[in-house]
Amino acid sequence: SSLETENPSPRVETEQETVQTETEAPQTEDPALHAEDGIYTFLQGPVAWESKAPYSGIWCEEELDGGLFSVFGCGLCDMAGIYSSLTPYECSPLDMYWLARKVSGYAPGDGAGAIDWPYMSETLQKTGFETKLRKKDRKYESFQKSIADSCGAIVLISSESDDTYWQDTPGHYVNIWHYNPETDMVFLGDWGNPKHNRQWIPLRYIYDALSTENAWQYLLVNSYDEEK
């Protein structure tokens, strides 16, 4: 069933407070008639909210369990984007925060901060999604196939693995959608950087930047069942 809120959430997005120098990604037209228009993204930083940037919201300034959402909320933005994009319903990143607290062991106040992979998977499964946690594939072609066969994915990137597109980013969850085999590009939801958010980038940028310091590197969303 849907996540219920007092006020329906508009389409929203977020950003990091830090100023970064990034490589501008090549842009391309999505062959599926702008399929990205159906993708929800969110921004998590207070600068975005204060400037009335599209895709930002009041969650940017929320303090939860002694921490600022803008510091730890990227994974929750990912989950809200998946839920709002792939179901008939909408939710905000804050809705997803409260749901994760309710149905999983997630507790940012215990020092964990950002939501960890098992809690993301468990929470998404409670909302009707079939998910699978994956480690970085040894071959790029295997990663390509996994992304091509999925509805969407959450990936953990780090500039310590590769800084071609992300700089000064030790660890950050982002969403990728609509793999295009003709261009080998994906549509990116990056809650921490408005300049990256809603851009088409090479899938290779994602693969090279996957953070190998974590137990898991990405989460595949394979299907949605409303009855679940």
Residue pointed to by tokens 């037209």: 29
Which pair of structure tokens corresponds to residue 21? Answer: 């120098």
Tally of CB atoms within 10 A around 194: 22
pTM of the complete model:
0.83
Terminal Cα distance for the chain, rounded:
8
Q: pLDDT per residue over 207-223, tens digit each?
A: 999 999 889 999 999 99
Question: Which of these, 35, 32, 9, 21, lies nearest to 198 by C-alpha position?
Answer: 35
Q: Give 132's DSSP letter.
A: E
pLDDT tens track for 141-156? 999 999 999 999 999 9
Distances (CA, A) of 73 to 23, 64, 197, 203, 228: 24, 10, 15, 24, 25
Amino acid letter for position 53: A
225 has a pLDDT exceeding 80: yes
What confidence category does residue 18 fall into, taking pLDDT thresholds of 50, 70 and 90? Answer: very low
Q: Where residue 109 falls among pLDDT bands split at 50, 70, 90?
A: confident
Q: What is the mean pLDDT of residues 147-176?
A: 96
pLDDT at 35: 72
What is the pLDDT, as a whole number, of residue 37?
86
Mean pLDDT of 149-164: 96
